[in-house]
Amino acid sequence: MSCIFCKIIEHKAPAKIFYEDANIIVFADIYPRAKIHLLVTPKFHCSRIMDLPDNLTLKVFETVRKITKELKLHDNFKLVLHNGALAGQIVEHLHFHYLSNQPNVNVKYKTVIT
């Protein structure tokens, strides 16, 4: 498996991990396009939203709420999905961009793999 996000999931590639549980991992985007730029990523490898099982789709959105609560971003974040190359998807492992430019937010990473 040459998927870079699967390697991050296995802790075999560098990443700043903000949150993870059995199904979801959240890590910092390597080229942030906002002050806070996290990638909310199901651990299940698939490319498109249509291939993500319903229970995991729910877990993605539960995780989005967890992040929002923890960082107190209730009124200031954007969630972006690039679904397919024509829509701008580069990494073929489904992930949601969680972006915010809220000032004075301290993002504490749980695990940093170097």
Binding-site ranges for ligand 5GP (CB under 6 A): 4, 15, 27-31, 82, 88-91
Tokens linked to 104: 């004075």
Q: Which residues are catalytic?
A: 95
Q: Which is nearer to Zn ion, 19 or 44 (CB)?
A: 44
Residue 45 interacting with Zn ion (CB under 5 A): yes
Torsions phi, psi for 107 (to 5 deg): -85, 115
Q: Which does 90 bind (CB under 5 to 8 A by kind): ligand 5GP, Zn ion, none?
A: ligand 5GP
CB 95 within 8 A of CB 41: yes
